[in-house]
Amino acid sequence: MPAMDALIQHLEEGRDLDDREVRVAAELLLESGGDSARKARLLEALSKKGETAAEIAGFVEAFLEHAVDPHAGLVDREGPTIDVCGTGGDKLNLFNVSTTSMFVVAAAGATVVKHGNRGITSKSGGADVLEELGVRLDLPAEGFRKCLEEAGVGFLFAPAYHPAFKAVVEVRKQLATKGVRTIFNLVGPLLNPAKPQCQLVGVFSREWCPVFAEILQRLGRESSWAVHGTTGDGRSVDELSLLGSTRICKSGSLEEIADEEVRPRDFGLRHAEVSDLEGGDAKLNAQILESILGAEDSGPKRDMVLLNAGAAIACAGLSDDIGHGIEIARRVIDDGSALDRLRALQAAAK
């Protein structure tokens, strides 16, 4: 495979890939039955060099050409489309913050097109908790669109929409056992086949905030926020954090990337400890989600959802700022609108 060998040499020499080379590399990686050893070497070389924003955006665009298109544009809804998700990898075992928040954001007037998977670094991923709540994960595209029409929120189960990724499953496993992070550990939140207008993505490392903001800008998001939170003792949180400060890098279709730092007290929210926000398996996390949306939980878990949903509402342009978004989030939980979105999704996604 001379093309693969040339790309590997290029990367091992520390040189960035241009747009054409990225496209060739993506096709070779997704080639069924390709040389696993060469694929692994290419991924490892790319990781060691360090992926640029342009390279990551190019890989995402190439991978999306192999994805199943849910044709979300066929759904006639007024609100902006948005995805709220995180890269994972913070290993704090928090409850499903973004999955809970999506119903609040939908109640605020956005159309939430959530793309996700089962838990990999946690006991319960977004897919696991939704399945526990009776939401069918293997809905075809028309079923997803029905969810958007009836609930204002739908879930795209990543394995169902990215069948070509089967070609790299074994390679990723091999590299994971060696402790090698690959581009596939980065691109999950970027691969939403519905291509939402807006996106709030939590990243596992502070340094990746401006990179993800640039990538999302390159992918054509009209508004995108990349966020990275911290705990009081300096650990990472791939959400806006009640545990410490949060870096937010914002980008739009034209503007420069804005970079700011926020703290819970900026919004009148109390500092929390990791133990206050821990979740468990899918059953426990489903109970937590319902207690928050049902306005039964008034503690730090609810505040964590208010903060993250408030930011997503602001990202979608449905509030003036995070503080205003938190007010809206609080209202739609208290008046039952957020729980109604969950019930509507459960009815539509059977």
- Reported as a single tens digit per residue, the pLDDT across 307-316 is 999 999 999 9
Domain hosting residue 13, numbered range: 2-50
Q: What is the CA radius of gyration of the chain?
A: 20
pLDDT one-digit tens code per residue, 239-259 = 999 999 999 999 997 778 999
Tell me, yes or no, whether 28 and 132 share the same domain.
no
Tell me, yes or no, whether 8 and 155 share the same domain.
no
Enumerate the β-bridge partners of residue 322: none
Enumerate the β-bridge partners of residue 200: 84, 225
**Which tokens go with 332?**
């739609």
pLDDT one-digit tens code per residue, 202-218 = 999 999 999 999 999 99
Instruction: Report the CATH number that the domain containing residue 128 is assigned in CATH.
Output: 3.40.1030.10
The answer to whether 232 and 273 are in contact (CB under 8 A) is yes
Is 239 part of any domain? yes
Q: Which of 289, 312, 305 is nearest to 113 (CA)?
A: 312
Q: Which of 288, 246, 294 is nearest to 269 (CA)?
A: 246
The model's confidence at residue 1, banded by pLDDT at 50, 70 and 90, is low
The answer to whether 155 and 147 are in contact (CB under 8 A) is yes
For residues 94 and 12, what is the distance between their CA atoms, to the nearest angstrom?
38
- Give the count of domains, the chain: 2
Mean pLDDT over the full length of the chain? 94
Is 170 part of any domain? no
For residues 226 and 240, what is the distance between their CA atoms, to the nearest angstrom?
10
Tell me, yes or no, whether 139 and 30 share the same domain.
no
Tell me, yes or no, whether 285 and 223 share the same domain.
yes
Tell me, yes or no, whether 82 and 45 share the same domain.
no
**218-236 average pLDDT score:** 95
Is 230 part of any domain? yes
Binding site feature residues: 86, 89-90, 96-99, 114-122, 126, 172, 238-239
For residues 86 and 93, what is the distance between their CA atoms, to the nearest angstrom?
13
The answer to whether 135 and 345 are in contact (CB under 8 A) is yes
**275-291 average pLDDT score:** 96
Binding site feature residues for Mg(2+): 98, 238-239
For residues 211 and 191, what is the distance between their CA atoms, to the nearest angstrom?
16
Q: Which of 225, 221, 224, 226 is nearest to 197 (CA)?
A: 221
Per-residue model confidence (pLDDT) at position 121: 57
Q: Which of 280, 270, 338, 272 is nearest to 309 (CA)?
A: 338
pTM for the model stands at: 0.95
The answer to whether 162 and 67 are in contact (CB under 8 A) is yes
Tell me, yes or no, whether 13 and 86 share the same domain.
no
**Which tokens go with 284?**
């426990």
Is 274 part of any domain? yes
Total residues found in the chain within this entry: 350
For residues 284 and 129, what is the distance between their CA atoms, to the nearest angstrom?
9
Is 317 part of any domain? yes
64 pLDDT higher than 90: yes
Per-residue model confidence (pLDDT) at position 118: 85
Is 186 part of any domain? no
Tell me, yes or no, whether 245 and 287 share the same domain.
yes
**Which tokens go with 310?**
């408030």
For residues 116 and 133, what is the distance between their CA atoms, to the nearest angstrom?
15
Tokens 């993505």 correspond to 201
Binding site feature residues for anthranilate: 86, 117, 172
Q: What are phi and psi of 345, to 5 degrees?
A: -70, -40
Tell me, yes or no, whether 143 and 232 share the same domain.
yes
Cα distances (Å, whole numbers) of residue 40 to 23, 232, 300: 17, 37, 43
Tell me, yes or no, whether 121 and 40 share the same domain.
no
Can you tell me whether residue 275 is helix, strand or coil?
helix
Tell me, yes or no, whether 8 and 108 share the same domain.
no
Per-residue model confidence (pLDDT) at position 176: 85
Is 241 part of any domain? yes
- Select from 13, 32, 50 the last residue of a domain: 50
Binding site feature residues for 5-phospho-alpha-D-ribose 1-diphosphate: 86, 89-90, 96-99, 114-122, 126
Tell me, yes or no, whether 101 and 230 share the same domain.
yes
114 pLDDT higher than 70: yes
Tell me, yes or no, whether 30 and 95 share the same domain.
no
Is 167 part of any domain? no
Can you tell me whether residue 336 is helix, strand or coil?
coil
First vs last Cα of the chain: how many Å apart?
46
Q: Lowest-confidence range among 29-33, 35-39, 81-85, 120-124?
A: 120-124
